[in-house]
Amino acid sequence: MIPDFAFTLLARDGAARRGRMATAHGTVETPAFMPVGTAATVKAMRPEDVAATGAEIILGNTYHLMLRPGAERIAALGGLHRFMNWPRAILTDSGGFQVMSLAKLREIDESGVTFRSHLDGSRFTLSPERSMEIQRLLGADITMAFDECTPFPAEEEQARSSMELSMRWAERSKAAYQARRGHALFGIVQGSIYDELRLASATALRAIGFDGFAVGGLAVGEGQERMFRVLDATVPALPEDRPRYLMGVGKPADIIGAVRRGIDLFDCVLPTRSGRTAQAFTRRGTVNLRNARHAADPRPLDPDCVCATCSQYSRAYLHHLVRAEEILAPMLLTQHNLRYYADLMAELRGAIEAGRFDAVAARLAAREAEGDIPPL
């Protein structure tokens, strides 16, 4: 039987939270990182290999999937979980960010957004109601309210107008959303870098009522210091008993800082994109496998990692694959990067449970500051 959607707080250490989220497609231990599967695939990875990294939830995207192959087609084929062979939880972004960043000739008004596809110029309209319909057709466990992602930088009045439009769209998203057991609708806090606007947005979303709350419009160029300041102002205004999601973040140091401030969920293209550009995350910093220093190195990428890449392949081999432009290179590096992120989240969960978050965070920072292991 499908369980009710639920979020349970299991432990706290300061503002950092250790929780568990129940969905129609399994539980998610939080804080958690969601690999990005924008177009019904986590790039360079089979779904079973994504699961083997420790991921319990992935992200799909309304904008990309509405363009191709189309939400109705995916629904006819059994929904997104069956279509992409991913049996665990899926969160779908509402499409607002991609409309801002990718679509051509955008026209935004109260009803929604009319735009031309970045793929072939075809004309589409996306509204709160259509976004809810698409995400229902996809079968998303977690649906995101339709919003306008405020560009950065933005003057305060521009940010206010954008935020207030998103709040009106949030009301329409809630009205159009069809509740089902095990599924959830999250609202998205907007307001750029302005504390007053962020608090007004959080207040409006709480009044509408959502199953979870995301902080959007960050990681768009404002920098880590401003991002943390916005979280300091915003997160305390969100309900304690609902999951909190920081959209589009990020680097390991960003994630650690956001967990410290009470965030539960994260997504970012960084581990997968880095895997496709010869970058690997290790416990002693980022490694560029293009560098000649790895050409004759027989050691694993990260001696403390138990992923298949690190247990079966040498730095020399990975370097060779990268330089030879073999498809296996992004596959192996992406697999490792996703395992690194999953291990990071597991370490943070354990630190919160043990009441040692600050000590573990300091150790993680010091370890990375040491830098990569020197060549033999």
Residue-wise pLDDT for 169-227, tens only, equals: 999 999 999 999 999 999 999 999 999 999 999 999 999 999 999 999 999 999 999 99
CB atoms within 10 A of CB 168: 12
- Is 93 part of the annotated catalytic residue set? yes
Q: Is the pLDDT reported for residue 96 higher than 90?
A: no
Kindly name the residue from 93, 264, 302, 343 that is annotated as catalytic.
93
Residue 153 preceded by cis peptide, ω within 30: yes
The radius of gyration computed from the CA coordinates of the chain, to the nearest angstrom, equals 20
Q: List the chain domain ranges.
A: 6-268, 275-369
Residue 103's pLDDT band (cuts 50, 70, 90): low
What are the tokens at 81?
Answer: 């979980």
pTM of the full predicted structure?
0.97
Q: Residue 194 to residues 41, 160, 198, 233: CA-CA distances in angstroms?
A: 35, 9, 6, 9
Structural contact between residues 131 and 62, judged by C-beta atoms closer than 8 angstroms: yes
Question: Which residues, in sequence order, are bridge partners of residue 144?
Answer: 186
> What is the sign, positive or negative, of the torsion defined by CA atoms of 44, 48, 51, 57?
positive
- Verify whether residue 267 is a known catalytic residue: yes
Pick the CATH number of 6-268 from 1.10.10.10, 3.40.50.300, 3.40.50.150, 3.20.20.105: 3.20.20.105
Catalytic-labelled residue, pool 13, 147, 267, 297: 267
Structure tokens at 287: 């490694």
Q: pLDDT per residue over 27-82, tens digit each?
A: 999 999 999 999 999 999 999 999 999 999 999 999 999 999 999 999 999 999 99
